């Protein structure tokens, strides 16, 4: 491949690395998250959102707790313009859909007629941020705008002055300004600083009316540390720093949008623009869901509500008409699921440990500190159930199928039985090449251990037990062995040993080596399951029984082991 056609970033842009403190910094509180789905995300869709979709998306963002929302590019299309007018009407009617603590942002290029149209769209809104942009890097200046550094500066200055005049003409509205030097990450640092500082001055930014400088990685060009250095340079050198909100706007061309945003916050960024689930131009804008939940997973309040992430995903998928990938961090269908054996084993041990520790510390499980292997956060925190956490296929081991049988069907298989049943499951899933659902596992368990398909060999036609005054148990039965029925009787120190004695009388030698039973279900529907490991002749087999009577379940378990051994013949 002709890799020599491409140049490393250091040949494309000068990056100041003189002062760098971001590597030692920590993120201890959430930056201001600003979703740009209705503008940057929308402009990347084959079918841009109509008013209904925009409104649904907007309502979702408000309900999640976003306080600044970029709602469109009003000079671009009638739909975008009309949506801002729709919001202005909501505001005029005092509709709670546009709460007092939410500010809309509208986006405009540095063209006077389009700035006019943008201001027209926000007429009547009590507050808004007008976001001005122009590309500043050499390639864009030369190739796209056909203007020199000084000329681009003049265009921006003129546009910014025009905005200031339009805002001054509306003294009752709180209109703030935002500037984005598009392609910031490819722009000479001294130039971008000069432009930003010029606008801070022109707009007369102050701590109570700050200006936002939004520094985009319009197209990612380098590893995230380079973006962090670029942001830290601006953070250190911007004039009237306390009157500037330093914002970042990463894209994801190298797949490192999230890392860029995180390092940028370490480097001094106070505000992050992005889209939910990373929609946006080309490979997308940085994903705000991942960013916020990354903070959450560090014990930092993300300030956004993700407690029902699937509901969020449903709205976003509907509005964007794009699916969220099954592997998408936190939100994908498969991200809390383990198919592989050792992961499942660790997760089920982790769940048990978590429950124990919560009980010991007197905390509800949903409040206890989280430390479950392979699960960065508790899926329940974002509204997920534990149902999908463990799924079984040919890559799974005993832990996974035992977990599913226990949590979904109430069967707590004895530890000694698990490796054997795991092999049965493995064979079935290898044969089918498919996943085995919890229901299929249960049916396989029944077919293997409860009704092993050799009923014709040894069948128990009728039976009774009683207890002699000396404490010995008696088992009286009619057995059908290999098609021939006969009456038998056995004695033992319990009903099961008496049953084994009756089997011996019928010529079947059985030693019960291991035995366990427990209740299944709750209330009136409770059943018992019994597991018995028996030596039948030379063979050792597990059997199981399920019945409303513990004794019947136990007898069935022994009989199933006998039939599985197949030695009665
Ligand atoms: C990184 C980003 O996301 S930037 C945002 C991109 N988003 C969009 O473009 C979506 C909405 N855009 C639109 O609907 C249209 O582009 C409009 C309505 C804004 C303008 O449409 P048109 O007037 O037909 O122009 P067109 O789309 O071809 O834009 C190119 C012109 O804008 C100029 N231009 C590009 N960016 C800017 C800017 N930020 N400020 C001023 N002029 C700009 C170009 O130099 C070019 O000028 P030229 O015609 O003199 O060569
Ligand atoms: C903030 C604007 C200009 C943008 O979307 C970008 O540069 O990616
Ligand atoms: Mg963008």
Determine the pLDDT at residue 462.
96
Determine the pLDDT at residue 454.
59
Separation of alpha carbons 569 and 567, rounded Å: 5
Q: Which among 192, 196, 230, 249 is the best mutation to test ligand 2's pocket, defined by most ligand atoms within 8 Å of the CB?
A: 249
Per-residue confidence at 140, pLDDT binned at 50, 70, 90? very high
Mean pLDDT computed over 278-299: 98
Determine the pLDDT at residue 568.
47
Q: Write phi, then psi, for 213 (nearest 5 degrees).
A: -105, 120
Mean pLDDT computed over 233-242: 98
Ligand nearest to the CA of 248: 2
ipTM comes to 0.97
CA 69 vs CA 311, 379, 451: distances in Å = 19, 27, 62
Mean pLDDT computed over 508-525: 92
Mean pLDDT computed over 183-211: 98
Determine the pLDDT at residue 569.
47
For ligand 2, say whether the CB of 110 is within 6 Å of any of its atoms.
no
- Using an 8 Å Cβ cutoff, are 561 and 532 in contact? yes
Mutual orientation of helices 309-320 and 51-64 as an angle, nearest 10°? 160
Q: Is it the case that residue 374 has pLDDT exceeding 50?
A: yes
Query: Which value, to the nearest 10 degrees, does the dihedral of the CA atoms of residues 106, 112, 117, 120 take?
Result: 80
Determine the pLDDT at residue 401.
94
Residues near ligand 1 (Cβ within 6 A): 40, 43, 73, 75-76, 109-111, 114, 133-134, 144-145, 182, 218, 281
* Ligand 1 atom nearest residue 110's Cα: 40
Per-residue confidence at 380, pLDDT binned at 50, 70, 90? very high
Q: Which residue has the tokens 């769940």?
A: 351
Q: Is it the case that residue 456 has pLDDT exceeding 80?
A: no
d(CA 22, ligand 1 centre) in Å:
35
d(CA 257, ligand 1 centre) in Å:
24
Q: Is it the case that residue 423 has pLDDT exceeding 50?
A: yes
Mean pLDDT computed over 300-320: 98
* Ligand 2 atom nearest residue 216's Cα: 7
Q: Which residue has the tokens 């760098």?
A: 20
d(CA 36, ligand 3 centre) in Å:
8
CA 4 to the chain's CA centroid = 39
Q: Of all residues in the chain, what percent carry a pLDDT higher than 90?
A: 95
CA triple 431-436-438, angle to 5 deg:
155
Separation of alpha carbons 493 and 472, rounded Å: 5
The secondary element (H helix, E strand) that includes residue 16 is none
d(CA 312, ligand 2 centre) in Å:
24
| Its pTM surpasses 0.80 | yes
CA triple 199-201-203, angle to 5 deg:
65
Per-residue pLDDT tens for 16-71?
Answer: 888 999 999 999 999 999 999 999 999 999 999 999 999 999 999 999 999 999 99
For ligand 2, say whether the CB of 220 is within 6 Å of any of its atoms.
no
Determine the pLDDT at residue 566.
83
Residues 6+ apart with CB under 8 A from 499: 463, 475, 477, 490, 492, 555, 558
- Using an 8 Å Cβ cutoff, are 230 and 190 in contact? no
* Ligand 2 atom nearest residue 133's Cα: 3
Determine the pLDDT at residue 419.
96
DSSP string, 350-402: HHHHHHHHHHHHT--TTTSPP--TT-SS-GGGGT--STTTB-BSTT--HHHHH
d(CA 76, ligand 3 centre) in Å:
15
Mean pLDDT computed over 269-290: 98
Determine the pLDDT at residue 473.
97
DSSP string, 239-286: TTGGGEEEEEEEB-TTS-HHHHHHHHHHTT--EEEEBGGG-SSTT-B-
Q: Which among 38, 133, 272, 285 is the best mutation to test ligand 2's pocket, defined by most ligand atoms within 8 Å of the CB?
A: 133
Query: Whose C-alpha lies nearest to ligand 2, atom 6?
Result: 218
Per-residue confidence at 455, pLDDT binned at 50, 70, 90? low
Determine the pLDDT at residue 269.
99
Q: Of all residues in the chain, what percent carry a pLDDT higher than 70?
A: 99
Determine the pLDDT at residue 347.
95
Mean pLDDT computed over 114-133: 98
């Amino acid at each position: 491949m002709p890799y020599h056609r491409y140049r490393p970033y250091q040949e494309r842009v000068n990056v100041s690395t003189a002062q760098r403190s971001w590597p030692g910094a920590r993120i201890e509180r959430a930056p201001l998250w600003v979703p740009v789905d209705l503008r940057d995300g929308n402009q990347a869709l084959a079918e841009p959102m109509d008013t209904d979709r925009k409104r649904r998306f907007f309502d979702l963002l408000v309900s999640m707790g976003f306080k600044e929302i970029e709602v469109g590019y009003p000079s671009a299309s009638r739909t975008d313009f009309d949506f801002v007018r729709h919001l202005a009407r909501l505001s005029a009617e005092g509709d709670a859909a546009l709460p007092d603590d939410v500010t809309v942002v509208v986006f405009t290029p540095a063209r006077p007629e389009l700035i006019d149209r943008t201001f027209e769209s926000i007429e009547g809104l009590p507050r808004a941020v007008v976001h001005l942009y122009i590309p500043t890097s050499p390639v864009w200046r030369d190739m796209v705008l056909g203007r020199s550094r000084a000329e681009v500066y003049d265009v921006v200055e003129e546009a910014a002055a025009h905005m200031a005049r339009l805002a001054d003409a509306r003294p009752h509205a709180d209109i703030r300004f935002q500037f984005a030097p598009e392609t910031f990450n490819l722009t000479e640092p001294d130039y971008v600083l000069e432009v930003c500082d010029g606008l801070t001055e022109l707009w007369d930014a102050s701590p109570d009316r700050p200006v936002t400088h939004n520094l985009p990685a319009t197209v990612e060009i380098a590893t995230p540390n380079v973006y962090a250095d670029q942001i830290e340079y601006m953070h250190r050198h911007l004039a009237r720093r306390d009157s500037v909100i330093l914002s970042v706007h990463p894209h994801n061309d190298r797949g490192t949008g999230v890392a860029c945003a995180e390092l940028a916050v370490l480097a001094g960024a106070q505000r992050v623009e992005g889209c939910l689930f990373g929609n946006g131009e080309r490979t997308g804008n940085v994903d705000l869901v991942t960013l916020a939940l990354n903070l959450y997973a560090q014990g930092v309040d993300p300030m956004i509500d993700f407690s029902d992430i699937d509901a969020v995903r449903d709205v976003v998928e509907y509005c964007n008409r794009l699916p969220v990938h099954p592997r998408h961090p936190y939100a994908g269908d498969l991200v809390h699921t383990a198919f592989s054996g050792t992961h499942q084993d660790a997760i089920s041990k982790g769940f048990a440990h978590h429950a124990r520790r919560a009980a010991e510390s007197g905390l509800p499980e949903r409040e206890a500190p989280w430390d479950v292997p392979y699960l960065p956060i508790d899926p329940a925190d974002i509204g997920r159930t534990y149902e999908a956490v463990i799924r079984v296929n040919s890559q799974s081991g005993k832990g996974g199928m035992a977990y599913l049988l226990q949590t979904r069907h109430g069967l707590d298989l004895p530890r000694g039985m698990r490796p054997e049943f795991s092999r049965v499951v493995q064979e079935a899933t290898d044969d089918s090449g498919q996943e085995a659902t919890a229901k299929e596992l249960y049916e396989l368990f029944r077919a293997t251990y409860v009704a092993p398909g050799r009923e014709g060999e040894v069948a128990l036609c009728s039976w009774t037990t009683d207890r002699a005054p000396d404490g010995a148990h008696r088992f009286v039965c009619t057995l059908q062995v290999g098609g021939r029925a006969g009456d038998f009787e056995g004695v033992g120190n319990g009903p099961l040993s008496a049953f084994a004695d009756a089997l011996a009388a019928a010529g079947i030698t059985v030693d019960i080596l291991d035995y366990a039973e427990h209740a299944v279900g709750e209330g009136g529907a409770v059943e018992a399951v019994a597991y018995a490991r028996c030596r039948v002749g030379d063979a050792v087999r597990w059997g199981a029984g399920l019945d409303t009577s513990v004794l019947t379940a136990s007898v069935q378990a022994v009989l199933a082991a006998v039939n599985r051994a197949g030695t009665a013949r």
